[in-house]
A and B are shown apart, each in its own frame.
Chain A
Amino acid sequence: MRKFDCPSCGADVTFRSAQSVYAVCAYCQSMVVRTDVDVTSIGIMAALPDDMSPLQLGSGGYFEEQPFTLIGRLKIGWRDGLWNEWHLLMADGRRGWIGEAQGAFSISFELEGALPDDVTATFEYCLPLLKGGEGADEARPGFLLELGGTTLRAVDIKLATCLGSEGELPFAAPKGRRTVAIDCVGKEGEFATLDHDGREAHAYVGRYVEWDAFRFTNLRPLEGW
């Protein structure tokens, strides 16, 4: 864990994970980038739209008997909805994501190494959605792909826009960052999400987990619940 002074307001900006490069100052919403020892402000992140999510930065939980902490969040919007991507740090140093959409929770970790052929083909098929122009309306869910030894079905293809972020993140996620996001599910609740911002492609694999199984702690109080 490293602490720096926010270049904008002087408050503490903490980097819990050695790999975190970006953080949003909790006090002034400045987005700061960590170069080796210094931090520089790269702009102000708009306040995140409020929601009824019981999760917050600092919430803890368990996955596969290992504790984790939520250290960052992206708020994502698409034409017909919103969801949260919580960035988490596991006790063994691995970092992953909890997708929170309509009260369903998925956990996933970035696939390391070269992207499988099926993923590359999927991006080729779906990228026009991001870039517009010809074929932009062609991408339809329903096809199958092999990922990490599992057959998954693409069930959801969306053009996503970052509405804001908070906490620590492994990449800069300025407001307005657009990605094409493809959600895939397997027969036993396996989950994968593929995203491409036009320059970089990422694949995250994991599974859906029921609320109770995460054994969350340090939740945000919810009025009336």
Chain B
Amino acid sequence: MGDQTSTMPSAEPAPPTRAPARPRTFACPNCGGPVTLRAVGQSITATCSQCSSLIDVADENLNIIKTAQSAMQDAEIPIGARARLGDVEWEVVGFMRRCDGPGDFQWTEYLLFNPYHGYRFLAEEYGHWTLVKMLNRDVPGAGSQGQITAMGRTYQFFGKGFARTTYVAGEFFWRASTSDVTAVTDYIAPPYRLMVERNDEEIIVSEGEYLGARLVADAFKLPLRVPSSSSAGVSQVNPYKVSFAVIVAAVVAGTLLQFVSLAMSENNLVSAQTYNLTAADKGKTLSSGPFRLEKEGNVEIETTSYLNNDWLELDMALVNMDTNQGYPVFQALEHYSGQDSDGPWEEGGYEETSLLPPVPPGTYQLLIEPDAGLFSKAPSPVQRVAISVRHGVPVWSNYLIAMALLLVVPGFGIARRSLFEKSRWEKGGVAE
């Protein structure tokens, strides 16, 4: 083939260039009003903006498919409006109103056109927007109820039912009609949504991406309504995040802080004394030996007494011997046990601990006024009571409270999140 080398496309003369392509205007065959056709050569039906007749523009003779549909309806976004969505400029060329089989759920679909990038649908359902592109690929399992994989994403079955077209305006690349009914199956992988529409001639699989109402309003420079906060969009990403990362960081930080404070607390045993109480001690004030607290810190007083079916009350005061400032502490111990028809029983305990807030440095003494059941017993037994005083003890309670509060936050998040999901899934399901 001698002409093989000369078939390099760049070397070829271009045929005569054609006049620029332009939208076409014609007179409506019903009312004579001007009808603009924006996607010339692709649009099959168009509606007259004056009388709302549905015109077959594939036919050179412009047949009227349907004269004047019910009342003309206005859409939130007018035909002819342009917006940049997903880096491409789109022009609204048509819109249709659709509803599910029973008519409970209604939505609007705008047909967007760009002569280079083709068509997109912009669907609006109660203020939730989805930009939809038809997929030119096979999606195995499309139409079944279960998980399916497409475009590298795993979609969950969301719902199955019918879509009825109740109103059309503008132009469409198919023979749009108000009697169209298609079987649709929806899958979601928020913010993505996969829609399968099926009729006798075609299987159309489309992929939608959720768009915020504000983004759409800004793109079209129109004041569009925003969805109510209680209604979830079908493929809207659940906005109630349970940010475990933040919680984990807070827990780690709190725990670190706690360990640092543990490491820094002295936890000194500054006094440990054992008292042998007898009836003779009734009304007396016992005192510990003086002890020195070198710096400010909290004070823990722990009392241990092995009571046998008896009680003990200690009215104590930690007294600063330099300033006579006193810090009252009251402790009560009791321990009872026995045997009845249900078996052995026991109540009370042998220990009691009190924590005093930080006290200033100084020399202290613990004064104790005891009262006890044994004081009224005769002959009076001896009851050993051990009282120890610790200074600068580590505190866990603040830490534990903080941790509990931190867990409330994700708990609240989980509740809001599941309410949102409930609102979303109320729209799903299988409709016959």
The residues of A with any CB-CB pair to B shorter than 8 Å are: 1-2, 14, 16-18, 26-27, 49-54, 56-58, 60, 67-69, 77, 79-82, 89-91, 93, 102-104, 106, 140-142, 152-153, 155-158, 167, 185-191, 208, 211, 218, 220-225
Contact = CB atoms under 8 A, between A and B. Distances in A.
User: Of residues B3, B21, B39, B58, which shows the largest number of chain A Cβ atoms within 10 Å of its Cβ?
Assistant: B21
B119 A103 contact: yes
Contacts of B24: 50
Interface in B80-118: 113-118
Interface string B22-62: 11100000000000001111101000000000000010100
Given A53-B21, A81-B44, A189 B136 contact: yes
Given A52-B42, A141-B203, A77 B58 contact: yes
B136 A53 contact: no
Contacts of A16: 7, 12
A56 B17 CA distance: 8
Contact of B202 (A68, A106, A156, A189): A156
B206 to A, nearest CB: 12
Contact of B20 (A153, A157, A221): A221
Interface string B114-150: 1111110000000000000010111110000000000
Contacts of A221: 20-21
Contacts, number: 156
Interface string B323-351: 00000000000000000000000000000
B12 A1 contact: yes
A60 B200 contact: no
Nearest to A137: B200
User: Chain A: interface secondary structure?
Assistant: loop
A218 B23 contact: no
A208 B202 contact: no
Given A26-B15, A52-B41, A224 B137 contact: no
Given A52-B39, A220-B20, A222-B115, A188 B137 contact: yes
Interface string B244-271: 0000000000000000000000000000
B138 A82 contact: no
A191 B3 CA distance: 31
A67 B11 CA distance: 11
A103 B118 contact: yes
